[in-house]
Amino acid sequence: MPSTNGRPDNPFHEHAFFLALEQSGSAIAHTGWQPQHIVIAADDEPVGLMPLFLKSHSQGEYVFDHAWADAYERAGGNYYPKLQSAVPFTPATAAKLLVPSNDIAIQQGLLGAAAQLTTRLGASSAHATFVSEAEEEVAAANGWLTRHDTQFHWHNQDFADFDGFLDTLASRKRKLIRRERREALADDLRIEWVSGSDLTEGHWDAFYDFYMDTGNRKWGRPYLNRAFFSLLSAAMADRIVLMFAYDGTEAIAGALNFAGKDVLYGRNWGCSRNVPFLHFELCYYQAIDYAIAHGLKTVEAGAQGEHKLSRGYAPSVTRSVHWIAHEGLREAIADYLAREKMAVLRDQEVLMHYTPFRRGTRTSGDD
């Protein structure tokens, strides 16, 4: 896989990330994530890896198949267990067919092994979520169903500063963003970026309180435990960017980001006090500031959220692929996905009409 100084470009390809999930007990068999990773070796050397889990639920995936499970079980089938190739609790595109040579035959071998394992374990299906476009093509050519969805990403056009980005927006949108930024920090709040050796257990204690508050309100039970963040910080602190909002010396909100070679990935956020527009400031505008300051090309701000559109984040396609063992279920899902894909395409065409950019402005990362 692509790497920087021997390390993966994408932080979610780091072994340390998966190890922290396992050692903390966040993603283990007891929580419904039983490792079933597939490795292909040649001359006793690994040449291909597919991270894979046997799952008893569909939580923590961000590509929703609950309706498929309900329909299959109403028809008398058992949708669970299923196999899931994913970075647990992480809705960010990252390769799932990890083949350093990019040999398509090895990628096909991983997909074939996953399909065989589905049958051997009596699972209903195998899924790989947030895959690359190239992986989607390989999977489709090997009989896997493909699915599209939408996220909102910000693209850096070599801006010198935040004002340079604002200059690409329509006047009314520039004024809106400037007002939101002023009001978010109106009470002398200050923002601090914390990374690397500057990260302390005190930072993680504060952030975990924020994370728990958001998780309890949104999901009922947060996925990650406190130990995960300490293990992650010890192993890959240079990949982490914590953004805190302070009132004096008191941290009142925080956002967790991971930095890759060219991308800043926004992950979790929370607060102890509701301040108007502070969520937008910490999660979207500060992320843009950081990307500009560090020469990053893209900010991926996580799952869902059409409210990101008016703040300069453009619609982007996300991809997943699915192997369905039961022929009847497979046909029903294939029909559904064909219609869903057309709906996603139409929605994205509509969304592009509502971007805040001035006419003629390039809004994607494509050259």
Query: For the whole model, what pTM was predicted?
Result: 0.93
pLDDT band at 366 (very low <50, low <70, confident <90, very high): very low
Q: How far apart are CA 309 and CA 318, in angstroms?
A: 16
pLDDT band at 305 (very low <50, low <70, confident <90, very high): confident
Instruction: State how far the alpha carbon of 306 is from the alpha carbons of 105, 152, 220, 225, 316, in Å.
Output: 39, 8, 23, 29, 12
Query: pLDDT value at position 5?
Result: 63
Residue position matching structure tokens 């499970």: 69
For range 116-143, the mean pLDDT:
97
Is the fold of 32-148+317-352 the same as that of 157-296? yes
**What residue spans define the domains of the chain?**
32-148+317-352, 157-296
> Taking the CA atoms of the chain, what radius of gyration do you get in angstroms?
21
Judged against a pLDDT cut of 90, whether residue 218 lies above it is answered with no
- CATH fold of 157-296 reads Aminopeptidase (3.40.630)
Q: Are 203 and 253 in contact (CB under 8 A)?
A: no
Query: pLDDT value at position 302?
Result: 87
CA 143 to the chain's CA centroid: 25
Query: pLDDT value at position 361?
Result: 61
In DSSP terms, 150 is beta-bridged to 317
pLDDT 10s digits, 100-120: 999 999 999 999 999 999 999
Token pair, residue 54, equals 């046997």
pLDDT 10s digits, 5-49: 667 899 999 999 999 999 999 999 999 999 999 999 999 999 999
Residue position matching structure tokens 């002398």: 188
Query: pLDDT value at position 222?
Result: 81
Domain 32-148+317-352 is of which CATH architecture?
3-Layer(aba) Sandwich (3.40)
Query: pLDDT value at position 74?
Result: 94
pLDDT band at 191 (very low <50, low <70, confident <90, very high): very high
Query: pLDDT value at position 230?
Result: 98
pLDDT band at 367 (very low <50, low <70, confident <90, very high): very low
Angle formed at CA 143 by CA 97 and CA 28, multiple of 5 degrees: 45
pLDDT band at 362 (very low <50, low <70, confident <90, very high): low
User: Could you tell me what percent of the chain has a pLDDT over 70?
Assistant: 94
Mean pLDDT of the residues in the chain = 93
In our burial notation (b when 16+ CB lie closer than 10 A, e otherwise), range 230-245 reads bbbbebbeebbbbbbb
Query: pLDDT value at position 2?
Result: 66
Q: Are 316 and 182 in contact (CB under 8 A)?
A: no
pLDDT 10s digits, 165-185: 999 999 999 999 999 999 999
Q: How far apart are CA 219 and CA 247, in angstroms?
A: 28
pLDDT band at 1 (very low <50, low <70, confident <90, very high): low
Q: What is the DSSP letter of 100?
A: T
For range 308-319, the mean pLDDT:
94
For range 311-329, the mean pLDDT:
96
